[in-house]
Amino acid sequence: MPDTSFQGRIWVLANAEGALIEDIDTDQIYHNAFLHITDIDGMGRYALGNLEGWKDFPDRARPGDILIAGRNFGAGSSRQQAVDCFKALKTGMILAPSFGAIYFRNAVNSAFPVLTGPDLKARVDRGELRSGDELAIDVRTGVSRNLTRDMSFSLTPMSEVQFGVWRAGGLFSYARNTEG
């Protein structure tokens, strides 16, 4: 069984005023001008390329980084590239108060970790979570720790199915290994 803990530097997807950006749609995550790219490894350089203030994110990101976004992250179309671009960058996971339903399902099916935290916005507003902080997160329990600020908080842990799909490496592998 894989380790259930993640540790990484966070990026708070905030606007110029410091507020979490809400309703980031799949076109802002991965612009439709690049849908012709079919090699997942080539998609990373376009991540957040249509989100004002974040167009240089691929140049600054490191493997294992954790994104924190506002509510309804990934709203809009069923664009799988909006998940795959983060996988190409080797992003560790994305945290948000909520996700667009299709985006969440695409991420889960692709074994890309996404977790919700209803109080993330309040924690960002209070300065408890800032870009550059180091987080440690257990996806099974939701127990999270901001190592930079020496504080703990909770996220909604992965469901049994989400964990099973993640552990299997994707929905198809999960289905092949599940007795039915």
pLDDT digits (tens, 9 = 90+) for 73-115: 999 988 999 999 999 999 999 999 999 999 999 999 999 999 9
Write out pLDDT tens, residues 120-177.
999 999 999 999 999 999 999 999 999 999 999 999 999 999 999 999 999 988 888 8
Q: Is the pTM of this model over 0.85?
A: yes
Burial 91-125 (b: 16+ CB within 10 A, else e): bbbbbbbbbbebbbbbbbbbbbbbbbbeebbebbe
All structural domains of the chain, each given as residue ranges with its CATH number in brackets, are: 7-134 (3.20.19.10)
Tokens read off for 39: 């090699």
Per-residue model confidence (pLDDT) at position 3: 84
Kindly give the interhelix angle for 81-88 and 101-109, rounded to the nearest 10 degrees.
Answer: 50
- 3-state DSSP helix/strand/coil % of the chain, to nearest 5: 30, 20, 50
**pLDDT of residue 1 exceeding 60:** no
Write out pLDDT tens, residues 9-28.
999 999 999 999 999 999 99
Cα–Cα distance, 77 to 52 (Å, whole number): 19
